[in-house]
Amino acid sequence: MPSKSRRKKGKLKLGQWQVTALIAVAVLLLSAAIWMLVRGGDGVKGPFDARLLELAAERGVAGDAITVDDPIRKVEDVFVRTWALDFPNRPARDGFLGDLQIEGAARGAQVAYPEELGAETVRLRVDFDVEAFDLHLSVTEPRQVAARPAEPTPVPSPTPKPQPAPSARGRLAILLDDGGQNLDLVEAAAALPKTVGFAILPFLPRSAETAVALHDAGHEIWLHLPMEPENYPANDPGPGAVLMAMNSDDLRTAIHSAINNIPHAVGMNNHMGSKATADLKTMTWIMQELKTRGLAFIDSRTTVHTVAEEAARAQGVPTNRRHVFLDNERSAAAIRVQLDEAVYRSRMEGEIIAIGHLDKVTIEVLAQELPGLAKLGADLVNPSDLVR
């Protein structure tokens, strides 16, 4: 009896072990089935990455033309594999795209529409629930495009410059700045036509002497008043300058001193002054002083933001502006071009003021060219004749 009882108990232990083994096998089989589904469908079709290799090989893509990323990226709980495949030609690549659409649909994947990454590369994404394939499909053989005949480069035709009437005449005034440093050029300057005016800087070694010499030779004298430019004090206008930091009394004193330093001055124009001439308060104070002294003002226009003419007219000061710079480039050829421009504009517009410098090259060119301007239709006049 005891022996029979032990045999029954032994059979019971064997049944429990078998049940446990069966459960373990079932779990393994279920896991494998799930893994196969994630990897690309049923066991007949195989893992999707293996199928990709097969489809690519069928389209002529060699193994060394496939690049697979390592490690795999995880983006928002999705394991993303990035593959780059180089196809021998466009038909092979386009055929592979069709293969993917069919294969993806069979596996229940979402296949994104191809995205253009360049002339010969598209991007496609095949998306399973927890895994996705980011495919970059390129064509190694560039698409042949029929060569087009080269189109001739259009040559812009210049707009014809309007021409004055044959009988048109203009009045041209010339004012040469920056006298006063020395007397080296005074004799040559004095020999120019008497209508050429000279603007003298104050408080230089030969300022007053230059003004007197040129006045005695019959030329009109102007005060070339230094005014504050942009980037002051790195850009220094010189002694006697009108500065923005001056109060009304200091500014008026500076103007009186400068006028008194230049004998025979009939008016003033600005030396530098790109900052001062753009300030209406400063220019109003200056014009008030010029009004009391009976002087005119010519705006050298060293900035497009100038309000000098506006302030002068508001205070009743006779005024005008510079229209042409003669010698920004100090070469004879460039000065002649600018002088021609001044003559042309005087005939077109009626009256023009040209400003240059008391410079050797400028004086030489003017000495040669001014006597012939009347034949070209330009009448030389004093600068003061063109202020009103």
- Per-residue confidence at 105, pLDDT binned at 50, 70, 90? confident
Between residues 362 and 126, the one the model is more confident about: 362
Q: What percent of the chain has pLDDT over 90?
A: 59
The pLDDT of residue 37 is above 50: no
The pLDDT of residue 11 is above 80: no
Report the DSSP pairing between strands 170-179 and 197-200.
parallel
Six-digit token string for 282: 């400063």
Q: What is the mean pLDDT of residues 54-79?
A: 79
- Per-residue confidence at 199, pLDDT binned at 50, 70, 90? very high
Do residues 239 and 202 touch, judged by C-beta distance below 8 A?
A: yes
pLDDT of residue 8: 42
- Report CA Rg, the chain: 46
pLDDT (tens digit, 9 = 90+) per residue, 250-269? 999 999 999 999 999 999 99
DSSP 157-174: PPPPPP---TT--EEEEE
The answer to which of 85-94, 105-114, 342-351 has the lowest mean pLDDT is 105-114
| Range 48-139 has CATH code 3.30.460.10 | yes
CA distance 197 to 310: 23
Do residues 181 and 205 touch, judged by C-beta distance below 8 A?
A: yes
Q: pTM for this structure?
A: 0.61
- Written as one letter, the residue type at 149 is P
Helices marked H in 139-279 — which ranges?
Answer: 186-190, 207-216, 248-261
CA distance 352 to 270: 18
- So where are the chain's domains? 48-139, 170-386
Domain 170-386 is in which class? alpha beta
Name the residue among 211, 215, 223 with its Cα closest to residue 255.
223
pLDDT of residue 144: 54
pLDDT (tens digit, 9 = 90+) per residue, 136-166? 888 886 555 556 667 777 777 777 889 999 9
Six-digit token string for 229: 């430019």
Do residues 309 and 299 touch, judged by C-beta distance below 8 A?
A: yes
CA angle 139, 144, 145 (to 5 degrees): 130
pLDDT (tens digit, 9 = 90+) per residue, 287-335? 999 999 999 999 999 999 999 999 999 999 999 999 999 999 999 999 9
pLDDT (tens digit, 9 = 90+) per residue, 70-104? 567 777 777 888 888 888 888 888 888 888 888 88
